[in-house]
Amino acid sequence: MARPLVLLIDYKSHFGSKYVAEPYRSGMSLSRLAELFRDSGYELELLGFPDVELGRDWKDIPVVYTSSEDHDGHYKSYIEDVVLGLELAGARTIPDFRFLRAHENKVFMEILRELLLTQTAASPARRLELPCDPAGRGPAGEGLTGQSLAAPSSAARHFGTYEEWEARQGAGHHANAHPSGVAPRTGTTPDTGQTVVKSASGALSRGVELGTNIDDLRAKVKKLSRSPSFRPDLRDLVRALRRTGYEKESRNRRKFVTQEFVSGLDHDWKVLVYGDRYFVLRRGARPDDFRASGGGRLSFHRELPPGLLDFARQVFDALRVPNVSLDIGVTPDGFVLFEFQAVYFGTYTVDHSEFHFRRVGADWSLVEGPAELEAVYAESVVRFLEAATR
């Protein structure tokens, strides 16, 4: 008997992201997904978000869903409401709601990184010791020093307003005057004083700025956090004129992330993971541009920095999702995880690669030939579901 699997489509009847989709931006093929899941023993039920009836029995029913990158996140907010409702009703949302919240939301992505990839006194098992030597002397424990994602060299802080960031500048705050607002952590050395500022949403390096000194950084933070609204701002100005001691609302309320700048990188690596299949893309930065993403200097390599796939695998295992997109940098001190997404991420790396890597036992094998996005996606979801029942 086929097992149930619910797939939630958007208002255009689209699901997911597919770089080479026809028509443009129409997502994965629903008929192909239904066929693939049926071959694996799952009967796919397609539903629009308004068609979800929370009164039915959702207990342990697996639900995969799409997200959205609409301007200002209006429709994405609605998707979040429905997916969270399904989780509360007992459905098994894939991935779970946390990762939907982190989509197009770098602030919550950093919070999730702290929760899932950081050692704390309350949860010491969360710490990951990862093989990270670019020289490639073997896995951790065989001559390598492991690196913990608890202390990435791109350590980040998040803020809800410009004023919150400004209040944390200056000597003495957190015993640290570094302009990122990032307190020193083990393994991090702010050496240049340069700081990356990221708006909470934005892909392909949109909403990413580099502050080269404190004054430049202050201007970049103000720019990315601006939240102008003429009528509310005017009313607030009137309140301030009429009410002695009234403190005006901030006009810089767009949340953002500050991140220590990792100098010396002219590229990063995009790694897409679908179950045990790893697709890797090298992204070179443009001349005189610190950003690798969106630069258009893309290439595929059969020879990778030693340890890169092991690093990606351990991050993937820690997140416990069926598929994920990872942005990874390689520094003399090890690997840096810049960002990750587990839903509705770009698929250029899968759609254009003529090969990929697969974990077989303790080894990595090179698999020649192009891959079908729908096939690797369905395979990863089925693998994820069946691993949970073992």
| Rounded alpha-carbon distances, angstroms, from residue 367 to 29, 278, 350 | 24, 10, 13
Coil, strand or helix: which one is 223?
helix
C-alpha–C-alpha distance, residues 147 and 24, integer Å = 41
- pLDDT mean over 25-50: 98
Q: What is the pLDDT of residues 113-168, one digit of tens each?
A: 988 886 443 443 333 444 444 443 333 333 223 444 433 435 789 999 999 999 99
Instruction: Work out the mean pLDDT of the chain and round it to a whole number.
Output: 85
- pLDDT mean over 89-104: 97
Instruction: Kindly indicate the confidence band of residue 63, based on its pLDDT and cuts at 50, 70 and 90.
Output: very high
Instruction: Kindly indicate the confidence band of residue 51, based on its pLDDT and cuts at 50, 70 and 90.
Output: very high
Superfamily of domain 124-156+263-389: ATP-grasp fold, B domain (3.30.470.20)
Q: Is the pLDDT of residue 34 over 90?
A: yes
C-alpha–C-alpha distance, residues 68 and 85, integer Å = 18
Q: What is the pLDDT of residues 233-268, one digit of tens each?
A: 899 899 999 998 888 889 999 999 998 888 878 899
Residue 151, pLDDT score: 36
Question: For the chain, how are helix, strand and coil distributed in percent, rounded to 5?
Answer: 30, 25, 45
Domain boundaries, the chain: 3-102, 124-156+263-389, 162-260
Smallest CA-to-CA distance from 252 within 229, 281, 275 is with 229
Residue 120, pLDDT score: 40
Q: Are the beta carbons of 312 and 273 closer than 8 angstroms? A: yes
- pLDDT mean over 330-340: 89
Q: Is the pLDDT of residue 384 over 60?
A: yes
Extended beta strands in 193-333, E state: 195-199, 208-211, 256-260, 267-274, 277-284, 297-299, 323-331
- pLDDT mean over 183-204: 61
Rg (CA), the chain: 22
Residue 125, pLDDT score: 35
Residue 127, pLDDT score: 37
Element (H, E) at 366: strand 363-368
Smallest CA-to-CA distance from 94 within 321, 374, 387, 345 is with 321
Q: Is the pLDDT of residue 282 over 50?
A: yes
The lowest-confidence range among 106-110, 130-134, 160-164, 327-331 is: 130-134
pTM of the full predicted structure?
A: 0.85
CATH class of 3-102: alpha beta
Residue 357, pLDDT score: 98
Q: Is the pLDDT of residue 358 over 50?
A: yes
Residue 285, pLDDT score: 84
